[in-house]
Amino acid sequence: MTHAADTAAAPHHSGPQGETVVYTYLGPEGTFTEAALLRIPGASDAVRIPAPSVNSALEMVRSGQANAAVVPIENSVEGGVSATLDALSAGTSLRILHEILVPITFVLAVRPGIGLADIRTVSTHTHAWAQCREWAAANIPSAEYLPASSTAAAAVELARQEPAFDAAICAPLVAERLGLEVLREDIGDVRDAVTRFVMISLPGLLPEPTGADKTTLVIPLPEDHPGALMDILEQFSTRGVNLSRIESRPTGMFLGDYFFSIDADGHVADARMADALKGLHRISPGLRFLGSYPRADRREPEVSRHTSDEAFRDADIWLQSLLNGY
């Protein structure tokens, strides 16, 4: 087994002779998704193309127009998470190379000269509004809310000649770029909110195992439910593999037909993970492997003696000796 070189940060389709790397991401510009992309080393020098939807971002990767795409995968304020899970579960198989955690902090942006008391209308994405509602009720109780298609779209509209509202709730990044005045910072109701993004590329060499990795899978639920889900979970638990995320998604139009999107602690190069994946493949051969990649938080899992690489190797040697007649 071979792994991508240490420069795994760059998607492996970028050439060594300095060809330009092209990234796409769920746009528009200035959202938290672009902020996530900018955390990737070298991304600020690369071509960055905002895509109108998660699907179109992934299509750019599949068609070779972009080397990689950054999209939200967990708890986004701009939506898109279900779209990401669904898009990864169908079509050409893709691979997650990185995960990026971005703290979610909102600012109240206004046109110069506007104070809190002057705000009669405020716009932002519905999810962002939901997350600032308490602050708004306390500080701009009489302001009317107007929905926008993204936090950045609200900011862009506000920066125009004759905006349709007085204030926008958006990411610090876009307010700064557009030269809007930031009247209040960090107005979200929940402290320490964070959204998780992933960088996605075509299949290729896997990122090297680091000891603190994550593996992402899409597992169709075979036939009958409760037993089937327990069978799936058991493949992990009997190998001491912890799950950090499990989400169900309907597969389509038929009631009660699901797949599960799962993040498990460890790398497919770890014996216990490889064994769990083989077990999963046997009971649900339509299983999809979406990559093994370093955890953003660098937290290493506890591995028991029974599920260490050494225990797996010893068991293989022992079994081979039996088959050889010893």
What residues line the site for its own copies (CB under 8 A)? 1-2, 74-75, 101, 104, 131, 190, 192-194, 196, 203-206, 224-227, 229-231, 233-238, 241-248, 250, 252-256, 258, 268-269, 274, 277-279, 281-283, 285, 289, 306-307, 311-312, 314-316, 318-319, 322-326
Task: Using the CB atoms, write b or e for 217-243: b if 16+ within 10 Å.
Answer: bbbbbbeeeeebbebbeebbeebbbee
Measured over the CA atoms of residue 63, residue 64, residue 66 and residue 70, the dihedral's sign is positive
Shortest Å distance, C-beta 75 to its own copies: 6
**In 3D, which of 221, 316, 228, 211 has the Cα closest to residue 273?**
211
DSSP result, 178-197: HT-EEEEE---SSTT-EEEE
Amino acid at 196: R
Residue among 70 and 241 whose Cβ is closer to its own copies: 241
Shortest Å distance, C-beta 81 to its own copies: 9
Residue among 176 and 247 whose Cβ is closer to its own copies: 247
Shortest Å distance, C-beta 114 to its own copies: 28
Residue among 9 and 49 whose Cβ is closer to its own copies: 9
Amino acid at 181: E
Vertex 212: Cα angle to 198 and 71 (nearest 5) = 5
Cβ pair 202, 61 in contact under 8 A? yes
Residue among 31 and 158 whose Cβ is closer to its own copies: 31
Amino acid at 137: A
Rounded distance between C-alpha atoms, residue 216 and residue 263, angstroms: 4
Rounded distance between C-alpha atoms, residue 195 and residue 224, angstroms: 33
Distances from the Cα of 109 to the Cα of 156, 182, 185, 191, 325, angstroms: 11, 5, 9, 19, 76
Shortest Å distance, C-beta 260 to its own copies: 8
Residue among 44 and 318 whose Cβ is closer to its own copies: 318
Shortest Å distance, C-beta 17 to its own copies: 22
Residue among 117 and 322 whose Cβ is closer to its own copies: 322
Shortest Å distance, C-beta 274 to its own copies: 6
Residue among 63 and 324 whose Cβ is closer to its own copies: 324
User: Residue 226 corresponds to which tokens in the numbers above?
Assistant: 């409760």
Q: Which residues pair with 123 in a beta bridge?
A: 146, 168
Residue among 20 and 320 whose Cβ is closer to its own copies: 320
Shortest Å distance, C-beta 270 to its own copies: 12
Shortest Å distance, C-beta 292 to its own copies: 9
